[in-house]
A and B are shown apart, each in its own frame.
Chain A
Amino acid sequence: AQSVAQPEDQVNVAEGNPLTVKCTYSVSGNPYLFWYVQYPNRGLQFLLKYITGDNLVKGSYGFEAEFNKSQTSFHLKKPSALVSDSALYFCAVRVIPKEDTGRRALTFGSGTRLQVQP
């Protein structure tokens, strides 16, 4: 089984300040972790992914995320927030069962709304 938790429904940050959007996961096996962003009435846009290797992953629009295996976390970060970053952010996990069968689809968290104030 695989699951993702985003403990904050909303995060508020002032423009220019650093932002963090939290994500923790639970999987049986090695996780493949993803962050997506959604603007109102639109589909999801891919931001970044962790597969293996360096725990700090850099993605689109200046976002980065840090994989922490001991804490089973994959928090999204940005050093300096922009008003245009205001959107809904989703963390997702995918894992392949050892038998290489079964669910290959992403499992999503419930989403975190980011509000950046001018």
Chain B
Amino acid sequence: DGGITQSPKYLFRKEGQNVTLSCEQNLNHDAMYWYRQDPGQGLRLIYYSQIVNDFQKGDIAEGYSVSREKKESFPLTVTSAQKNPTAFYLCASSRMLTGANTEAFFGQGTRLTVV
């Protein structure tokens, strides 16, 4: 069925390692997003992409990188430069219309823990 798939559900990272979180959607949406969720802070935007081969920094992009080589895929790499990566990461997508009236659909999230 249609939707957004994030993998893995749980991920453990050692200090100094880079890790990549997967996000795939089959909704034919143009726009995709990565958010980070910390307790009591709501969701903060890391990166977003409006079309293939284009992406923009969000509010907390430092220490993260993304790519958008295919419309369906928007992987997020958490690099060793991210000093506090332990969080719940949410991927989302939305249709691209000329207006802003399009809701985002979310994946089930990846919980990243530094060990």
Q: Give A contacts to B, CB under 8 Å.
A: 6, 9, 32, 34, 36, 41-46, 49, 51-52, 90, 94-96, 100, 103-111
Contacts and interface: CB of A to CB of B under 8 A. Distances in A.
B82 to A, nearest CB: 20
Interface in B68-115: 88, 90, 92, 96, 98-101, 103-109, 111
A96 B40 contact: no
Interface string B1-16: 0001010000000000
B90 A108 contact: no
B43 A108 contact: yes
Q: Which of B33, B43, B106, B111 has the most CB of A within 10 A?
A: B43
A98 to B, nearest CB: 12
Given A43-B90, A46-B105, A104-B50, A109 B42 contact: yes
Contacts of A106: 33, 45, 92, 104
Given A46-B105, A105-B48, A90 B43 contact: yes
